[in-house]
Amino acid sequence: MLVFRKILVSLLAVSLLFSCGREQSGGELLSVTVETQRVRMSENGTAEVVFTVDEPAYVFDLERDVVLYKADGINPHPEDFSLEKVAPVGGGGKYVATLADRGLHGGEYLTRVLLGIRNHAGVITFSEPFEVCGAQYGSQGTTLETGLPILYLDTENKAPILSKEDYVTASLTVRAPEEDNWLDDLSCQVRGRGNTTWSWPKKPYLVKLDKKASVLGMPKHKRWVLLANFMDRTMMRNLVAMKVASMTALDWTPRCRSVELVLNGVHQGNYLLIEQVKVDKNRVPITEMGPEDNTGEAVTGGYLLELDFHYDNEVQWVDSHGGTVQWGAGSGIPFGVKYPDPEDLTPSQLSYIKEYIAEAAEVLYGPGFEDPEKGYAQYIDVDSFVDYWIVFEVMGNHELGNPGSVYFHKDRGGKIKAGPCWDFDWGILSYNTSPQARTGLINRNAIWYARLFQDPAFVEKVKARFQELLPQLETIPGYIQTLEKELEASASLNFRLWNPAEDASMNGGRIINGDENMTFHQASVLLKKTFEERLGVIRKSL
């Protein structure tokens, strides 16, 4: 490293001489930030690296002032790829650098590099290191014959997917071994998705088909989600959660399949293809509304609501008529309207659902709340709230109390129902995030449940329903063992590409699920053991 620093000092000195006489413009350049932590490119192909400078008005020569150096080693210049071109992206100090693979070493390389900008004084300001790897890095000559379906997603002109807001035109091809569910070149649009997960190296995506289609035997629809499950060493937390939810009487649970994703010819590892939460006869089965549904029975539904502390819904509010979230006593509960869509939701419809939620909460936290006719039961579908709570409790998902991706829905003329279940990878069946799960319940004081559990009749319903579901729940450990066998080959490839332990650097240095540094087998065994322990703890605690 000392030799490398001496080389950099020499390069900087040369660049200082080279820059004499150049005119200064814009403000002072203070930092360069690369938005991508790892890029992968096919042999003789290209890859895009998006970066921003902190001073949008800063002017520099795109060809002469952008440099690329290895982050370590004696030779500062990368051997396997080069910087081909740099172009601005929509202003605001954002640029895209195109790297070109030189076709060396069969694509089996991984290089940590720095991207730098030479300022007007000739001094280079560097980004934090990021990784560039060849298409075959980590593959060791293996193929994608893992037994899982393969999704080939190809963007137009291999355009990078850089945004959660802007779609990129693409096509989707599906190949499923020993199945007839093959699809060829379905026209679609794709963009990024997620909150924290979008900032991680392995990206999740939203695919919107131009026409409805059945994918891998799941009912026809346009919208599908590819969950990266980056931090999940087992690659099965969402699979297990959806299996548990499907055992209940919730109106709808997303169907899903584990797949291999190949994006623009480059294998991205194991993904979960899952139905997006949308209002549809085959998904959330509530009445579809129009802008004319503003009065009488018509205005009563249907509505799809999300409770999410990220506050990233276009239409959202905090209801403080009773109930709190565990991270902020007295702060109320965050509600957002997912359906009707923001552009279709009328003021009358928004007013109705906000008033309904407020009235339900007032009654729930008011006197006589437990009355079966005049209490909370006239506003909420109690059975759905029981089943929803059991899924979260069995899976050790504490985000019911710190609501993230928590859903309610209300059909026309009906009560509020809990569900569907969504997003069960962060801290699920983990004593790291929920140490109290070793000995007791973790969601008894979550949102409205804090009050519901004060009603002895509700508690009895939970006890009876848990006992009713227990024989099915006791099959889940066997299901986990089956999944381990099915996913073993895929896991071998996936974890050569990605390291779940990197999630610690994105969570304040904390390991979240507790198995990130284990092998796939060890993590699977731990998941099974923790699930079995949860069933025992719930039996004793109810």
Task: Determine the Cα–Cα distance for residues 202 and 501; give it in Å rounded to an integer.
Answer: 13
Cα 222 versus chain centre, distance: 19
Helix (H, G, I), strand (E, B) or coil at 213: strand
Q: What is the pLDDT of residue 12?
A: 42
Domain extents for the chain?
2-134, 296-470
Does the pTM surpass 0.85? The reply is no
Neighbours of 339 (CB within 10 A): 21
Block mean pLDDT (10 aa), the chain, length 542: 41 39 55 84 86 86 89 73 90 89 80 87 86 69 78 93 95 87 92 87 96 97 97 97 98 98 91 98 97 98 93 88 48 91 97 97 95 96 98 95 93 98 94 92 95 97 98 98 97 92 72 92 98 98 96
* Cis, bond preceding 435 (omega within 30 deg of 0): no
At 536 the three-state DSSP class reads: helix
The 3-state DSSP class for residue 316 equals strand
- Identify the bridge partners of residue 100 per DSSP, sorted by sequence position: 46, 82
* CATH code of domain 2-134: 2.60.40.10
* Cβ neighbour number for residue 517 with a 10 Å cutoff: 13
DSSP state of 257: E
Q: In whole angstroms, give the CA distance from residue 33 to residue 148.
A: 37
| Cα 230 from Cα 350, distance rounded (Å) | 36
Q: Are strands 38-41 and 130-134 parallel, antiparallel or unpaired?
A: parallel
Number of helices (H) and strands (E), helices first, in the chain? 8, 21
pLDDT of residue 137: 65
**Contact of 421 with 253, CB cutoff 8 Å:** yes
Quote the CA–CA distance of 528 and 476 in Å, as a whole number.
8
Which one, of 222, 227, 247, lies nearest residue 238 by Cα?
A: 227
Q: Edge to edge, what strands does the sheet with 333-339 contain?
A: 316-319, 333-339, 303-307, 406-410, 416-418
**CB count in 10 Å sphere of residue 143:** 8
Q: Which residues of 306-319 are buried (b: 16+ CB within 10 A; e: fewer)?
A: bbbbeeebebbbeb
Per the listing, tokens 């139905």 go with 275
Q: Counting Cβ atoms within 10 Å, is residue 95 exposed (0-12), middle (13-18) or buried (19+)?
A: buried
Report the alpha-carbon distance of residue 429 to residue 393 in Å, rounded: 10
- Quote the CA–CA distance of 105 and 83 in Å, as a whole number: 18
Strand partners, 96: 50, 87
